[in-house]
Chain A
Amino acid sequence: MTRRFSFSQFVLLVAALVLAVLWLAPIAWAVATSLKPESETTKLPLEWFGSRITFESYELVLGTGGIVKWAVNSTVTAVVVTFMTVLFSAMAAYGFARTQFKGQRVLLGIILAGIMVPPQVLIAPLFAEMVAFGLVDTWWAIILPQVAAPLIVYILVKFFQDVPEELEQAAFVDGAGRWRVFFTIVLPLSRPVLAAVSIFTFINTWNNFLWPFLVSTDPNTMTLPVGLANVVQGTFGLRYAQIMASVVLAGLPLLVVFVLFQRQIIRGVAHTGLAGQ
């Protein structure tokens, strides 16, 4: 392919730039609104900049404390879900791919069938279960159901089946037990796929709305998206600069992480997302 900058390249560039601007405009508008004085947010005709640039909405939003609290809740729940999901799924996948026991086939079948069960259709019984356990409004209620992710087991089973047997066998001959082999050989060998799966799980959990929204009614246990939907629109109703400041603060973390770790995130999302089928 020739590398010269042709006319058609120029047309493509213009098209891409126009689309990029269109795609970024809503985000830019949120930022612009959040930096205006409150009294100018609904002024017509629209202007991108107010009479002055002010951070008072951010001060107010951060001052009420909600956002910070929810960010902590989001971080803790997403980290714990990711950690538990990856650890337990990897263990289970190892058990299915590399050991043999009675009923293995049936169990694996049951777990893989679970891929077809969308968590969204389970909201009513899951909530009833949480009421019975007394877990409503706790972190555990947010965390545990999200760990039951059969898709991740499926991806890891497929991966572990391709890890060369010889590495394991050598360790067994050295007298190592299964657990040791799992933690010191299999897991380190699987680092790329574990990273991809972790990123995928983290992003999904961080952005998950429906389940945390149902099970955290107490603003002290809410995650960022839930707090945003439930509290911010109540507290700052009709105060658009403050709502947009909250939106920007809630959307920012993952975007910043994305700019820093573009390659890894793209791998994690694309590969894990595709592996599901």
Chain B
Amino acid sequence: MTTKNDDNLSALVDGELDSTRAKHLITDITASDELRARWANYHVISDAMQGNGQHNQTIDLSAQISAALEDEPTVLAPRSRTRTIPAMFKQVAGMAVAATVAAAAVLMLQPTEPGVFNQTEMVAGLGSPVGQLKEERIRVNNSGMNWSATQPSVASRLNGYLVNHNGYSTAVRGNLPFASIVGYDESAISTDADDAVILEYNPNGNSTRR
């Protein structure tokens, strides 16, 4: 086991690993018994450090047993070692497997949008029931103001005029000529795709015409 893997595990537990690396690590954890065990240990350590005492006993116990086993007469040791220590780990690792499966389930429940892999949710998912994760927020549909006594098509036309007009009527709003656009109804600034020119995004903030 490399230090890098340890660092990554630690970062994953703390929810600080970037999404791509987190994905890889989760795959590795699922495949490797050793990683699963370490993963479980990290959770135990993390909980202990955050003052969540539930696992402290587990740590002490495994440490004590390990110490006891070291002290056992050599005759019994090889056999005991191969059975007892993995058995202890198995319990913890079993929980880890369950957690990993839960995580995998969570990952599958998330809509597979590239680049929107949400690590925070995923890491939280390892310790909590899957059902709590899928949260859909109800958004208030704020339709904004609208034109009096007009059909939607006429209102849309008037909005088009108004946005254009607002570029001119700036004298008293002074420095805030576009404030009204920030405030307006979406339909006022949506552009008909037929006439629109699609621009290619350039991270420098400039854009070029396609």
| Pairing of A with B | no
Interface of A toward B, CB cutoff 8 Å: none
Interface of B toward A, CB cutoff 8 Å: none
